[in-house]
Chains A and B, each alone.
Chain A
Amino acid sequence: MSRCRPGRALAALLLTGTLGLSACAVPAGDQQNGTSELTVFAAASLAAPFTRLAEDFEAAHPGTTVRLNLAGSADLAAQILAGAPADVFASADEANMAKVVDAGMAAEEPRNIATNTLTIAVPAGNPAGIAGFADLAAAGVQVVVCAEQVPCGAAAEKLAQNAGILLAPVSEESSVTGVMGKVVSGEADAGLVYVTDVRASGGKVQEVPFPEAKEAVNRYPLVRLAAAGDSGLADAFVRYVGADEGRRALQEAGFGVP
């Protein structure tokens, strides 16, 4: 009989452990002890400027902690629709923002905070000698783009159609980081990525700018969510990003600002 006891203790421990875990999973909207938390869901491409803005915002609002959740816009939108506790959402495209707005989960009309355009990234030394957009369609050039299903791929497709050229990519990646990876490693001769990706790579790839790029501009909408715990604080963050500090941080990362 006594041999059963450790077992029971273990079971009890497991049970309390599980309860403890599930307690942790409850949305953190606590505002005791004069501290407040702001959860910002932002597109992965906003990582650099938003990390800086979050720190500056915390400094300007003592007692505030900004939690950044950085991921692909489609993932973030799906998480918000599934009830993830978010106060602010910054999307890398209008389509994913529309999903959240259409579900009635936005507290206001989204505002565009930044624009991004595509550019050609080539490995150091530009081994295939890419000089412009039309060179991407040349025979033997290994081009990597985003798949049509993701915003960077839709933009690439639009540019190719406008220019009347047929891209035959060797790979259609599901994210722009996938494209960057293939260019940085030298697997691809060229990749269509965002201007901000080249800027963030710190010289690991070279850029071949092309004038046609401005025909496909990606807009980044930002919105306060209806479920925001502290709507005043969320609103302050949204205004902060749209103000001079925010614009400067975005511009330095290579974004265009409206």
Chain B
Amino acid sequence: MSRSNTVPLPRWVLAGAAAGALFLLLPLAAVAAEVNWAEFIPLVTSESSLAALSLSLRTAAASTLLCVLLGVPLALVLARARFPGKRLVRSLVLLPLVLPPVVGGIALLYTFGRQGLLGGALEAMGVQVAFSTAAVVLAQTFVALPFLVLTLEGALRTAGTRYEAVAATLGARPWTVLRRVTVPLVLPGLASGAVLSFARCLGEFGATLAFAGSLQGVTRTLPLEIYLQREADADAAVALSLVLVLVAVVVVGLSYRSAPARSADTRSAGGRSATAGAAD
């Protein structure tokens, strides 16, 4: 919150930060050190690798779109609406964050699977989710949605309701307030939430494996390909791991490129964030 960083941090905080950064970076460096560079290009451009990478990017994009469509209304309701049991609803919505993904996969299986809750109805409509790319998208959306909701809800609370109230007193209808005031204010938050969701989708493994299966070009995303290659060809698994790390770095880098835009919502936060935090 303090924009002037004049008060120095205690030294042990710096030591702890260094240890934390090292803990996160060392394993990544170890992967890079393990790569068989002579074979790197052939390994990552093999037919199965490219199929997995392309499937991962396509499904993560579709899932992110689904996350935005479902997550924006959810975040708006959680941040603005008042209803009994809201606290409980929020905890349940965020459950996939702490749930092991494989549990999510099993839950999806018993919901959308052939023998699942909605399986019969889906089959009657001629839709089969099992073993399809749609199953991958469902699994990714399930685990990534809380990231978007959490980020956007935080941005909405930080932005506060002042401007919305002013717009309403000036005669703007709810839809106009949402479109002209609320959404533009939290756009940076929405963007970073979407990027986080996309990154989470890219890394999704457990739910996909349990729910969608694993078939080249259809359901075998990059993490599943890495897991499989590890059985037979460790070099290929390491090379593909590095590719996934690089894609993730690019994604995270892009989200931090939008940092200047985000200072707008920090500014509007001003002194309100303290009250927002206390209200939580």
**Bound CA–CA A78/B227 (angstroms):** 14
- Among A56-64, A142-150, A201-209, A225-233, the one that faces the other chain is A142-150
**Bound CA–CA A57/B229 (angstroms):** 36
B10 interface residue per 8 A CB criterion: yes
Whether the Cβ atoms of A174 and B228 lie closer than 8 Å is: yes
Residues of A contacting B231 with CB < 8 Å? 72, 74, 147, 149-150, 174
Whether the Cβ atoms of A7 and B214 lie closer than 8 Å is: no
Closest Cβ of chain B: how far from A187's Cβ, in Å? 5
Whether the Cβ atoms of A144 and B15 lie closer than 8 Å is: no
B144 interface residue per 8 A CB criterion: no
A131 interface residue per 8 A CB criterion: no
Closest Cβ of chain B: how far from A212's Cβ, in Å? 24
Residues of B contacting A181 with CB < 8 Å? 210
The interface bits of chain B over 216-233 (1 if a CB of A lies within 8 angstroms of the residue's CB, else 0) are 100110001001111111
Residues of A contacting B115 with CB < 8 Å? 185-187
Within 8 A of B (CB), among A130-166: 142, 144, 147, 149-150
Size category, A interface: 20 to 34
Q: How many A-B residue pairs have CB under 8 A?
A: 74
A11 interface residue per 8 A CB criterion: yes
A28 interface residue per 8 A CB criterion: no
Whether the Cβ atoms of A170 and B215 lie closer than 8 Å is: yes
Size category, B interface: 20 to 34
**Bound CA–CA A72/B215 (angstroms):** 20
A172 interface residue per 8 A CB criterion: yes
A169 interface residue per 8 A CB criterion: yes
B12 interface residue per 8 A CB criterion: yes
Residue ID in chain A nearest B227 by CB atoms: A174
A23 interface residue per 8 A CB criterion: no
Whether the Cβ atoms of A187 and B114 lie closer than 8 Å is: yes
Within 8 A of B (CB), among A212-230: none
Known: A14-B16, A172-B213, A173-B209. 9 other contacts (CB 8 A): A147-B228, A169-B215, A170-B213, A171-B213, A171-B215, A172-B214, A172-B220, A174-B214, A186-B113
Please report A residues at the B interface, Cβ cutoff 8 Å. Answer: 4, 7-8, 10-11, 14, 72, 74, 78, 142, 144, 147, 149-150, 169-174, 178, 181-182, 185-187
Query: Which are the 5 A-B pairs with shortest beta-carbon distances?
Result: A171-B213, A149-B232, A186-B115, A170-B131, A7-B12
A-B contact pairs, 18 of them (CB 8 A): A4-B10, A7-B13, A11-B15, A11-B16, A142-B130, A144-B213, A147-B231, A149-B228, A150-B231, A150-B232, A169-B215, A172-B213, A174-B214, A174-B231, A178-B209, A182-B213, A186-B115, A187-B131
